[in-house]
């Protein structure tokens, strides 16, 4: 007999997909289980909507970075309900026929639904892109091409996984890769704290956070295991670490000699002001900082997960709640 399970909280079991849909649409959201943090929103969504064991690793891997289906869940629920009520086995979007309703649902959710929406929205997307390119929003461009604004953060995600273990989140970051030229570029930037975190996350030893910006919790590596931590706490600790590092650079005589002298006092004042504004939540600063830092960590989510998988397969770290996905 087919069984359905909510892959967000891992507590709900049913033999009826209708019950799962009712659970997923409930106003009272279920609490996210630890290992579900590894999954993308679409992976959780798809795994919950199909009987256990009917989705294989290759299928779920396709949507590891996706939230498109989850964001369009109301339409998805409507489609699934129609398929069940009408007991149909042909796709209403492309008219292909299938032997079972499970095969039909897979086809629609993994292929046809998104493709159909792309075609519908093609003209709107082109128009939207043109408007963005022509907008007069002021962005800060670093020497490495990074862009910072309220909605867009571009980061290089290339990384080679060769490390034994990342640094524990409770310990200081590895800053050995940050040279004086990079440090000066960071310190004179209007977004020095966010730019510094970006530089920190270029070092694979520092990829000790697994976070999806849409979640209220993430995972942090701490003393040979991954533990849950609230997104706000991750941000608080990250800001403290950035502040400590930047002030160490300013106080270190050897580094100090290579820092642009005329900016030193201004840099100290700006760092102090940013910390005060964050701690006091001046003008809603804290919410904005949490959002930006979460996006920076989210950009490194995939390589951070790959690090976890390698450590887990080498028996260096414990499995996350007996995590067996992918």
Q: Residue ranges of the domains in the chain?
A: 4-133, 140-322
Query: How many C-alpha atoms does 110 have within 13 Å on its Cβ side?
Result: 20
Nearest of 148, 236, 238 to residue 201 by alpha carbon: 238
**326, 309 in Cβ contact below 8 A?**
yes
Distance from C-alpha of 37 to C-alpha of 10, rounded to nearest angstrom: 12
Compute how many other C-beta atoms are within 10 angstroms of the C-beta atom of residue 40: 21
Which helix H or strand E contains 140, and what residues bound it?
A: strand 140-141
Report CA 199 to chain centroid distance, whole Å. Answer: 18
Residue among 51, 47, 30, 109 nearest 77 (CA) = 109
pLDDT at position 261 is 65
Largest CA distance in the chain: 75
| CB burial of residue 169 (10 Å; 0-12, 13-18, 19+) | buried
Alpha-carbon distance of 104 to 56, in angstroms, equals 16
CA dist 72 and 118 (Å) reads 13
For position 122, what pLDDT does the model report?
61
Residue pair 161/316 in contact (Cβ under 8 Å)? The answer is no
Q: How far apart are CA 140 and CA 146, in angstroms?
A: 8
Distance of CA 243 to the CA centre of its chain: 23
Digits of tens for pLDDT over the chain (326 positions)? Answer: 578 888 888 877 777 888 888 888 888 888 888 878 888 888 888 888 888 888 887 888 888 878 888 888 888 888 888 888 888 899 988 888 999 888 998 898 888 888 777 776 664 544 444 443 443 333 333 333 333 333 333 334 444 445 568 999 999 999 999 988 888 889 888 899 999 999 999 999 999 999 988 889 999 998 878 999 999 999 999 999 999 999 888 877 555 566 666 677 888 889 999 999 999 988 889 999 999 999 999 999 999 999 998 988 888 888 776 443 33
Say what the pTM is. 0.63
Q: How far apart are the first and last CA of the chain?
A: 24
Q: Which residues of 73-97 are buried (b: 16+ CB within 10 A; e: fewer)?
A: beebbebbeebeeeeeeebebeeee
d(CA 8, CA 24): 9
Q: What is the DSSP letter of 69?
A: H
């Amino acid at each position: 007999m087919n069984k359905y399970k909510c892959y967000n909280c891992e507590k709900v079991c049913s033999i009826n997909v209708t019950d799962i849909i009712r659970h997923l649409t409930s106003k009272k959201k279920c609490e996210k289980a630890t290992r579900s943090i590894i999954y993308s929103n679409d992976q959780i969504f798809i795994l919950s909507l199909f009987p256990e064991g009917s989705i294989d690793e290759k299928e779920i891997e396709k949507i590891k970075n996706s939230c498109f289906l989850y964001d369009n869940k109301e339409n998805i629920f409507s489609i699934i309900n129609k398929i069940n009520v009408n007991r149909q086995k042909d796709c209403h979007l492309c008219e292909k026929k299938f032997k079972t309703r499970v095969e039909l649902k897979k086809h629609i959710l993994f292929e046809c639904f998104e493709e159909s929406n792309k075609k519908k929205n093609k003209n709107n997307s082109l128009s939207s892109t043109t408007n963005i390119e022509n907008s007069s929003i002021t962005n800060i461009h670093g020497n490495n091409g990074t862009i910072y604004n309220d909605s867009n953060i571009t980061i290089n995600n290339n990384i080679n996984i060769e490390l034994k273990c990342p640094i524990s989140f409770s310990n200081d970051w590895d800053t050995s890769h940050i040279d004086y030229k990079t440090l000066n570029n960071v310190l004179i930037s209007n977004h020095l704290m966010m730019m510094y975190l970006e530089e920190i996350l270029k070092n694979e030893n520092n990829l000790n956070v697994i976070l999806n910006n849409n979640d209220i919790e993430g995972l942090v590596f701490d003393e040979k295991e991954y533990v849950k931590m609230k997104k706000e706490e991750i941000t608080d600790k990250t800001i403290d670490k950035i502040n400590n590092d930047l002030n160490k650079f300013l106080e270190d005589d050897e580094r100090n000699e290579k820092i642009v002298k005329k900016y030193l006092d201004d840099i100290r004042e700006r760092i102090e002001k940013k910390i005060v504004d964050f701690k006091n939540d001046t003008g809603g600063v804290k919410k904005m900082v949490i959002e930006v830092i979460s996006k920076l960590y989210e950009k490194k989510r995939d390589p951070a997960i790959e690090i976890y998988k390698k450590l887990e397969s080498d028996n260096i770290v414990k499995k996350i709640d007996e995590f067996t996905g992918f």
